[in-house]
Amino acid sequence: MRRINIPKTIGICLVVLYVVGALIPVYWVVTTAFKPRIEVYTFPVKYIPSSFTWEPAHNSLTQRPSMSFLRNSLFAAVGATILALALGVPAAYALAREKFPGRKDIAFFILTTRMFPPVTICIPIYFIIRNVGLLDTLAGLIIVYAMFNLAIIIWVMKGYIQQVPVEIEESARVDGCTKLGAFIRITLPLLAPGMAAVAIISLVLSWNEFLYALILTHSPAAKTLPVGIAEFIGGAYGILWGEICFLGTVAIIPMIVLIMVVQKYIVRGLTMGAIK
């Protein structure tokens, strides 16, 4: 008789329970996005719709400039990710390779920027963005998003860079490469998996961000999709669950597809970055 591996069985059961628990809300959102309105408010909840309708989709796309919100979210997330990588990777390289006083203190200070809730500094950030003339602009959102993503990028990439043998760069410099040239031509290509991992993390965090998008924008030209979804809460018709769930479905599908495509790079990048 085959023996049962109890720890393994318990682990599998826990994973299955977690996956089911995580998928139930997603399933509810997707099905509610296409339910007839009367079934949305039916109690007890009908998890299997009797029919499907495009009314919530039509309303969400015609009653609000939802495509503008979607475009703004894309620009803000991609822009913030590019800016954070452009600043974070060189900073991580300096912390990993250079020897200078206060290096460990600086690295720790960078990490502490993610230790307190973003809401605690929303007021000073609001005034700073307003005073520099970037209030209600995508540029303002990109800067704020990049600022909050820098800590993760720097710390993960710092660990990843430390896994690259310094002898490779030294060999390139012996062959006539400058320090900058060795970094760009030799080291940077080796950092691609780590950069892909932190880029996806930054992209997802920026895509889903709500608080600062709500505080720093007020016009359709700058509002992002999470803020646009919130506009269907309240008003003369109460909470429009169908419209909210349709836009929620629109918001989660791109991220799910993206993560499924690049998940191996995320795992590899984060694993390498966490070794040291």
User: Is 224:141 a contact under the CB 8 Å cutoff?
Assistant: yes
pLDDT at residue 275, rounded to an integer = 47
pLDDT of residue 206: 93
The reported pLDDT for the residue numbered 119 is: 85
pLDDT at position 128 is 93
Can you read off the two tokens belonging to residue 225?
């999709």
**Quick one: pLDDT at residue 215?**
92
pLDDT value of position 268 = 62
Mean pLDDT per 10-residue section of the chain, whose length is 276 residues: 72 89 86 80 76 80 84 94 93 85 81 81 91 92 93 87 81 79 83 86 91 90 89 72 85 83 66 50
Class of domain 65-273: mainly alpha
Task: Give the model's pLDDT for residue 235.
Answer: 61
pLDDT score, position 274: 47
Instruction: Determine the pLDDT at residue 276.
Output: 46
Q: What pLDDT does residue 236 have? A: 58
Domain ranges of the chain: 65-273
